[in-house]
Amino acid sequence: MDTVVRNLRVLRRMTAAQIVQQSIYRGAWIIFMAANICVPIISLLIWRTAIANGAQLPIDDRYVTSYFVVLSFVTMATSSWLTGFLANDIRLGKLSSWMVRPASLLLTFVANNVAEKFLKLFALVPMIGVLWWIFRDSMNLPAGPDRWAVFAVSLVLGAILVFTIDILIASLAFWMDDVTALAQARVLIASVLSGAVVPLALMPDWSRGFVDNQPFRYTVSFPVEIVAGGLSGQELLVGLGIQAAYVFVFGILARLVWAVGIRAYSAVGA
């Protein structure tokens, strides 16, 4: 228990420090968020045009609109960029200095991740607000606060899931010289399987069983679906269960690989 409390205290301090550090780049965050919102807007306009033009989609334009308006927020909130940095720290031996400190190197990445999202929020929320206002009449939004609460829980679980998958891939740097290509492959595959490019509801029927149950759906698409609609109460519960299970499994896996990796670690000075 003491370790948890101590780690939380360290995390709080490091997050505060990271926020101060990263707020130097506040101009850059605004531009980054403006860039991130471009592709969801493009997709939104394309699919709305297709529906207006008579395409017979399994979802209506209210779903599509709410989906893409909420999408950029969820991709931001569940994103992580640690793979490259963590792999570099392992490869170049920066990990060595952390091994004698009373906290894990991973904790800095958690702090970095939380700080980065906190600052991005200020840039992104106004932009989504404008988008929301433009499309306010053609969106499905859950009325009661309970759906929003479930959305918040699922968002946190999604963020943890992405973070652990990234730790898992970065940890391979203990054994491989270069994980860049692997990380890039993961980003590309995830962009389609997470629903960040096309809503998963539009995937062909033959892929349903796979698409609905693979882990990447629970990193982005599932939280968005909770808000955009189309999930019954039961589907919601089952989904949350699967999401929690994935977090648990990937958490254990990442923990295991990290622990084995630390033992295999042999950088100069370790």
Partner 1 sequence: MSEIRTYADNRQPLDRNWLHKQWRHLRLWRRFLLQAVVRETHYRAHFATTLLVGLVQLGLGIVPILLLFGFTQEVHGWSRAEVITLVGAYQIITGLMAAFVAPNLQRMTEYIAEGELDGVLLRPVSSQLYLTLRWINVAELSNVASGIAVLVIGLVQSGASPNVPQLLQAFVLAVCGLALLSTVWSAMSFLAFWLQSVNPIGFIYLNLVEAGRYPLVFFPVPVRAFLTFAFPVAFATTYPVQALAGDLGWTPVAGGIALSVVAVTLVRMLWRRGLRSYASASS
Residues that bind partner 1 (CB under 8 A): 27-28, 31-32, 34-36, 38-39, 42-43, 45-47, 49-50, 53-57, 181, 184-185, 188, 191-192, 197-198, 202-204
Classify residue 26 as exposed, middle or buried by CB count within 10 Å of its CB (0-12, 13-18, 19+).
exposed
Query: First-to-last CA distance in the chain?
Result: 29
176 vs 253, which CB is nearer to partner 1? 176
Alpha helices in 58-207 (DSSP H): 61-78, 82-91, 95-99, 105-134, 145-171, 180-193
The kind and range of the H/E element at 32 are helix 26-52
CB of 210 to partner 1, least distance (A): 15
CB of 191 to partner 1, least distance (A): 7
21 vs 184, which CB is nearer to partner 1? 184
CB of 176 to partner 1, least distance (A): 13
134 φ/ψ angles, rounded to the nearest 5 degrees:
-60, -45
CB of 25 to partner 1, least distance (A): 9
Q: What angle (nearest 5°) sits at the alpha carbon of residue 36, between those of residues 85 and 81? A: 15
21 vs 97, which CB is nearer to partner 1? 21
How many whole angstroms separate alpha carbon 122 and alpha carbon 129?
A: 11
124 vs 257, which CB is nearer to partner 1? 124
36 vs 113, which CB is nearer to partner 1? 36
CB of 159 to partner 1, least distance (A): 22
Instruction: Choose among 176, 165, 163: nearest CA to 261.
Output: 176
